[in-house]
Amino acid sequence: MRPNLHPRLVNGRFGDPALFVEMLHRKGALLFDIGDLSALSARDLLRVSHVFVTHTHIDHFIGFDALLRVCVGREKVVEMVGPAGYLDRLQHKLLGYEWDLVDRYGTDLVFEAKEVHRGGLCRSARFRFKNAFRGEAQAAGRIDAGLVASGPGFEVRAQPLEHHGPCLGFAVGETAHVNVWKNLLEERGLGTGQWLQALKQAVIDEAENDLLIPLSSGDTAPLGSLRDLVSVTRGQKIAYVSDVADTPRNREAIAELAQDADTLFLEARFAAADAQQANERAHLTTRACGEIARAASVRRLEPFHFSPRYEGENARMLAEVEAAFGRSLTP
């Protein structure tokens, strides 16, 4: 399966948490946590369509200003999701600046924000540049099965967890994965290109066979004559969890969220020998990281958010995770 979701840790295993996920053949990108974002280019930041914040400790949220600065003055909508209390903190962030002359801009930057509570409850609000980012359209509601965001071909689900207070874990998955048989394209003289995205989406949507699909040549063909060009398999899944206490409740919730994930990004803040400090600070150890990933049956584990106290001990930390995981971290 050629992956469509391409994740990368912005600051490696020791830096501020931030996971940038590019989506193949799509302009948008996803950000999970927004710590220091200086390693991302302005082009990267302008691609961000969704931001998912585990909690608002400074190392997970300080990068919001960088995103805001790049996006102001552009016509753009960014969807944002965080835990209980997130809307108030986002509002305070935005009102920390004086928004002068906003009425003279011809463009509007909009943050569609949502905070997730236990039991499927949520609150939402809109913050618009043209309104000096004063909160509007506030509402309470519910989310179904943790679904907090979706777009063409992907869905993001959230799981409430506990750190020193509420936090969230996230999983992004393709609704389905569609593979194109290039040998069949060549046999029929059909070129590659953007038209294949329309074909894939039509197959995922289970559209009628008589639906006309525009081809790269400028002609059209009914969907029924093109279905054999593609095959549909289980979609790719990536889970992301950072800053959680090692409790039975958290372990169970993380394992459920990340079950059978292709890749799990999971914090391992402390070495196994420092379990007492990990418990006092509501973080996971390397051993807990590996054990949780094993319980979730993930295909690949990417431990991160190592404490700076272990600088120079990357190999040791990874070896401890690997021992608890029960297999190699190298795919």
Tens digit of each residue's pLDDT (9 = 90 or more) over 62-85: 999 999 999 999 999 999 999 999
Tens digit of each residue's pLDDT (9 = 90 or more) over 116-141: 999 999 999 999 999 999 999 889 99
CATH code for the domain in which residue 3 is found = 3.60.15.10
| Tokens of residue 115, six digits | 């905070």
- Please check whether residues 19 and 140 belong to one and the same domain: yes
- Please check whether residues 207 and 254 belong to one and the same domain: no
Domain termination residue (choose one: 175, 192, 215): 175
Q: Is residue 10 one of the residues assigned to a domain?
A: yes
- Sequence-distant (6+) residues with CB within 8 A of 3 are 24, 236, 262
Q: Average pLDDT of 311-315?
A: 96
pTM of this prediction?
0.87
What share of the chain has pLDDT > 70, as a percent? 98
In whole angstroms, give the CA distance from residue 259 to residue 293: 9
User: Which residue, among 218, 217, 185, has the nearest Cα to 200 in the 3D structure?
Assistant: 185
User: What is the pLDDT confidence band of residue 331, given thresholds at 50, 70 and 90?
Assistant: low
The parent domain of residue 286 ranges over 244-330
Q: Higher confidence at residue 25 or residue 210?
A: 210
CB 86 within 8 A of CB 113: yes
Residue 1 pLDDT: 55
- Please check whether residues 201 and 317 belong to one and the same domain: no
Q: Is residue 238 one of the residues assigned to a domain?
A: no
Residue 177 confidence (pLDDT) above 70: no
Q: Is residue 81 one of the residues assigned to a domain?
A: yes
- Please check whether residues 203 and 216 belong to one and the same domain: yes
- Please check whether residues 279 and 169 belong to one and the same domain: no
How many domains are there within the chain? 3
| Tokens of residue 90, six digits | 């986002």
- Please check whether residues 114 and 208 belong to one and the same domain: no
Q: Average pLDDT of 24-31?
A: 87
Query: In what side-by-side order are the strands of the sheet with 154-162?
Result: 147-151, 154-162, 166-174, 237-241, 263-267, 301-304
Domain termination residue (choose one: 175, 194, 221): 175
